[in-house]
A and B are shown apart, each in its own frame.
Chain A
Amino acid sequence: MIRFTIRTILKNKILWAWPGIFVLFAAATFYWGGISPSAEGASFVFNFGKASLPSGMVMSQITSFVVLMGIIGFPNHFAKALEPERASLMLSNPISRSEFFFSDLAAMVTISLAYAFLSVFPMAILLGIEGGIFPMQFFLTMLLFLPLLLLTYYVTIVLFLILTDSYLAGALLGWIVTGFSSLFLNIEKVLTTIGINSETIHTTMDVLSFLIPSSAAIQQVMQAAYGGGFTAIDGSLLAFALATFLPMTALSYYLYLNKEF
């Protein structure tokens, strides 16, 4: 089953733009910029003209492009698989809905890992030749957290694909709702700033923050890891991010099991 999904996702040309972005960035830095060790504790900085940009800042910008590619590219095959015309071809085979659902998530993570690896490759060449460095933890951060970040969006998108039966609505709503996770991550500050001190509202918001996969938490973890390596990662933040996957995954799974085609 997973092979079927991987074959389908690999046919999606939009997703090839992901490693493409890294190849272009590496080529551009190679010709017009440079790499040098950071004076402020970050592992290294990118130099473009007179500007020196910390690796964490640059990578977070590239990551937002990758997220955009992922949001457009990854849900496509799941949206198609929800159409009765495709679902009846697939689910009339000896595969259960559980197998389909979890194979899809596994295929998405596998392809993300593959593309992340392809993205590490041009960066490794760039950093090796231009900066004479091989920051292993920087590469591992890309490999581990880029797929995880995309998964936060994908889980929400899958839920909305099932609810709306529409690729566009699913992708848009998934992107918007997951985007709210950054608000929930700082909800205490936000509530205090706008003068809300009610214990009930604070508790409600805390609960809500666990219901949306926290892309914001993953992004904070990534930024910390890009700048200061794995020791800079806040373990509780990472645990929170992983916990937030569960409610929407469980709800999507339940809805998919009960969906008719």
Chain B
Amino acid sequence: MILKAQNVAKTYSSRDDFSLQIDNFTIAEGSFTAMLGPNGSGKSTFLKIILDLLFADSGDITLLGTNHKNKLARDKVSYLPENFSFPKSFTVGEMLHAFADLKTSPPPNLDQCISDLAEAFNVDYLDKKMKGLSKGMRQTAALMNTFLYDDRFYILDEPFNGLDAVQKKAIMDYIFQQQEERNITVLITTHILSDIDKTCDTLHLIKDGSIINSASKAEIQEQFGNVEEYYLNHFESANPVTS
């Protein structure tokens, strides 16, 4: 099991008493899991709790077999936050080198890895400064930083923000290739339902801090046809059909 979270609770008194309550959440190795929900439903909060960036009031989380508070739990984990800020005066190449210093064992052939990934992601601006990049270019650079290492678990919070269709396809193709070759595990949150229609094995719907429904891709296709119908059924309908 890559991730196991039990009875995780967190309450924010400053956010209109918003509380997150995840009773049981697991992710199996090699799976592609999506977490869907409206803005402010607690998706990012839960991801940050997993990575010990936010502290849960209670609960147990095991990440790659280790308590998530132990730094070793994050040894083979890559995270792309929804909002990120890289040093603006760095070029893309410098940024990738600098962040490689934060890894326990960065690839010995880092330059080669960067140039391979740049080719896969259609990046020809490694020498451009971060401050001069467009939103889509910055997002791609951040995705490069996420996928530069041979990690086992990738946590992606709204990874396709600002990307055009061509770029999105190039990155999705790369992720699929990595899943086939290295059996990586992906946990993704997104608002663009079409992005995950064909890709996810399992989907979790989260609302007001709680998971209200979970379903496999097969169940969704059988019962709703596609992810969008599944989503709308739970968030638009007064009496949703449960899978």
Contacts and interface: CB of A to CB of B under 8 A. Distances in A.
A84 B103 CA distance: 19
B103 to A, nearest CB: 6
B75 interface: yes
B74 A92 contact: yes
A85 B98 contact: no
Nearest to A89: B84
A261 B89 CA distance: 23
- Secondary structure at the A interface, as helix, strand, loop or mixed, is helix
A258 B53 CA distance: 10
Interface of B: 48, 51-55, 71-72, 74-75, 77-79, 81, 83-87, 89-90, 94, 97-99, 101-104, 145, 155
Contacts of B48: 88, 261
B85 A93 contact: no
Given A88-B81, A89-B86, A95 B71 contact: yes
Given A7-B101, A95-B102, A258-B55, 11 more contacts: A8-B87, A84-B81, A85-B85, A87-B53, A88-B81, A89-B84, A89-B99, A92-B74, A94-B72, A260-B53, A261-B53
B74 A93 contact: yes
A1 interface: yes
A246 to B, nearest CB: 25
B84 A88 contact: yes
B71 A88 contact: no
Interface in A3-36: 3-4, 7-8, 11
A4 B81 contact: no
20 contacts: A3-B101, A7-B94, A85-B84, A87-B53, A88-B79, A88-B81, A88-B84, A89-B86, A90-B102, A91-B51, A91-B52, A92-B79, A92-B155, A94-B72, A95-B71, A95-B102, A258-B55, A260-B53, A260-B55, A261-B54
Central interface residue in A87, A89, A96, by most chain B CB within 10 Å: A89
Contact of B101 (A1, A83, A91): A1
Given A91-B52, A261-B54, A96 B85 contact: no
Contact of B77 (A85, A90, A92): A92
A202 interface: no
Central interface residue in B71, B78, B90, by most chain A CB within 10 Å: B71
A79 to B, nearest CB: 11
Given A88-B51, A88-B79, A88-B81, A7 B71 contact: no
A4 B53 contact: no
B179 to A, nearest CB: 21
A136 B92 CA distance: 43
Interface in A33-79: none
A11 B94 CA distance: 11
Nearest to A86: B85
A85 B53 CA distance: 11
Contact of A4 (B55, B78, B85, B98): B98
Contacts of B55: 258, 260
Nearest to B105: A94
B45 to A, nearest CB: 10
A90 to B, nearest CB: 6
Contacts of A80: 85, 87
Central interface residue in B77, B84, B103, by most chain A CB within 10 Å: B84
A11 to B, nearest CB: 5
Contacts of B52: 91
